[in-house]
Amino acid sequence: MESFPYSHNNVAVTHRDHGALFHPSSSVATPSLAKYVVANDDIPLAGPQHGRSNGNKNNDMKPLEDFVASEFCKLSVEEQTKALSDLYCQSAAADKKQEDTNLSNSSSCDLNENPVMIQDSLRRFELQIQQGNFPIYDIALVQNRSYVQDPTFRLKFLRANRHNVPKAVHQMTCFLQEKAVHFGQDKVAREITLDDLSPEELDLMISDRYHIQGGRDQKGRVIHYSFPAALGGGGVGVRGTSSCPSVGMVNRVNYYVWFNILSNMAVVQSKGLVAVHYDTAQPDAASSNKPSFDFIHKSMAFFATMPIRYSAIHLCFPESAAAKRDASIKNLVLGAYLRSIPLYSRARTTMHHGSDWEIQYRLIQQYGFPHAGTFPVDSQGKIRRNVLNVWLHLHMANEPSYIDSFNCTMVQLEDDDDEDDRDDYSITSEEDEICTVATDVAVVLDPPPAATVAKYTYAASASGGRINNDVLHQISIASSSSSSQNTPATITEQQQQKGGGGQHRPDHDVFFGRGRGIQDHPGNIRCREYLQEYHHAYDTAPRNQRGKVTKALTNALRQQGTRFYERNQNREWVEAEPKVIEKKIGQLLREFRKKKNQNQG
């Protein structure tokens, strides 16, 4: 079994060893009974002259053996059992496993912050900046003082360095320097948007290069994937080409993904990020398209300036991919990753070999990854693009240039789950369903809270069999007030035929389908909360008027930027017809009424 006894900066590397750590400077020593004996000046030493032999070896050791036996008998049964296990090396593996756990916990625990600590760190950060000589920081001050002095901006670097102020200042200045190199000095002190990326870089961003796993690990950390094979050869490539993009192009895309998206997530700042480097087989990848050492070195140097604390790193080399790649490339990637880890980062780096399903099973069982259905790569090594697309669309939707840069229509989502004859349009929760991969990124994102709307008391008019018009009027007012902050958008003719709507909000979209992954989408959650607030109007309306309430609620959701999607026969997400929408909204309202009656009964 091949192993990589390589260590750098307190980072241990494992290779198909189920957690065993390899340190060049240490070996697995057999624990002895000595750790159970308390140091005491009264311990009888061997021989009459403190260990000097008197010619009888058995007599020399007898006093020490008697003392050890006496002390051993004083131990409890549990301590005696553990001591005997140590003597026969039976618990060495358990101790080593506990050591691994302690190392992992020390690097991934939450930051125990408090307002006083944050204020003190920011004060010392400012003093450190003033005492030093940082030309790039002076340039940024001239351009936009509020950008580099923003506490939120500085707090990213402080949290990434666990409030080590000197290291945080050094990382921030290196970050500004790298930003000037890749985007120009005129953009050092402002946010980088989609307008600053070229069309080729936008294509690279939505390719198979980056992925986020649906769900978090047992410690609640976000899991980020990188697929280096997608840079060229068999990957998506740039504008349909198979050539490997330049290091500058990759780093500019890395900046947007790492800084604009990942570092802004509160859970990443507090818990850190789990990085997974997953190699994939590319049969048609030419050797010239493999990243060079200079490419990897510059990419990792740029990564070291990002204010992201990696609490764990997993290097995965499936057998299908390893068989098609040289060992030199594999060691090159490993060395570049380890050299990129700062001295202060106690990230635990683990290497995994085996088939795709073996690697995924090991990550689930030993490292607390979510279930296999959330992995961005299936058991055959095929990359799933659906999670990436939904995740990126949700995060980039707030930019003004988002509509112009990307086609907002949902791409065809791959679904390998077994199909059945059940109703595929329900938006009710199904706890016993295995979550699908279609939109299972909601657990990764910080779901936006449902829009706060005024609560009204509705009264239906029983006379004449008609519903009180105030009900529909108040719903319309609530919808307008909730969406008044949105910039009006041009409504297409197709949207007008389907009832119109406000500015599209991808985080408000509702997907009709089963599975916890779909039900946990922010739009589905918000839709259920919104309907729960207004279901009283549906309950109190006469039977022949409930359709009007359903239609009014549907139009109110549309005015807030909500779109409704369903799967067609080709398993593609398409916008649902008004009749389908009203039918499903009505089903949900009836379910609320049924649950209410059950609770009252």
User: Is 262 in contact with 224 (CB distance < 8 Å)?
Assistant: yes
**DSSP letter for each residue of 195-243:** GGS-HHHHHHHTSTTEEE-SS--TT--EEEEE-GGGGSTTS--STT--S
pLDDT band of residue 137 (cuts 50, 70, 90) is very high
Q: What is the pLDDT of residue 554?
A: 86
Q: What is the pLDDT of residue 345?
A: 55
pLDDT at 165 exceeding the cut of 90: yes
Which among 404, 413, 595 has a CA at the least distance from the CA of 518?
Answer: 413
Strands 348-354 and 510-511: unpaired
* Lowest model confidence (mean pLDDT) among 247-261, 399-413, 512-526, 575-589: 399-413
Burial of 142 (0-12, 13-18, 19+ CB in 10 A): exposed
pLDDT band of residue 171 (cuts 50, 70, 90) is very high
Which one-letter amino acid corresponds to residue 359?
I
R_g of the chain computed on alpha carbons? 30
Which among 458, 483, 423 has a CA at the least distance from the CA of 537?
Answer: 458
User: Is 235 in contact with 186 (CB distance < 8 Å)?
Assistant: no
| pTM for this model (two decimals) | 0.50
Question: What whole-number distance in Å separates Cα of residue 553 and Cα of residue 11?
Answer: 56
For the segment 1-40, what is each residue's pLDDT rounded down to a tens digit? 443 333 333 333 333 333 333 333 333 333 333 333 333 3
Q: What is the pLDDT of residue 346?
A: 62
Q: Which string of b and e fits 413-448 if b means at least 16 CB within 10 Å?
A: bebeeeeeeeeebbbebeeebebbbbbbbbbbbebe
Q: What is the pLDDT of residue 85?
A: 57
Q: What is the pLDDT of residue 147?
A: 92
Which among 206, 222, 203, 228 has a CA at the least distance from the CA of 374?
Answer: 222
Question: What whole-number distance in Å separates Cα of residue 148 and Cα of residue 137?
Answer: 8
For the segment 300-340, what is each residue's pLDDT rounded down to a tens digit? 778 888 898 888 888 887 775 544 455 445 555 555 555 55
Which among 370, 531, 510 has a CA at the least distance from the CA of 439?
Answer: 510
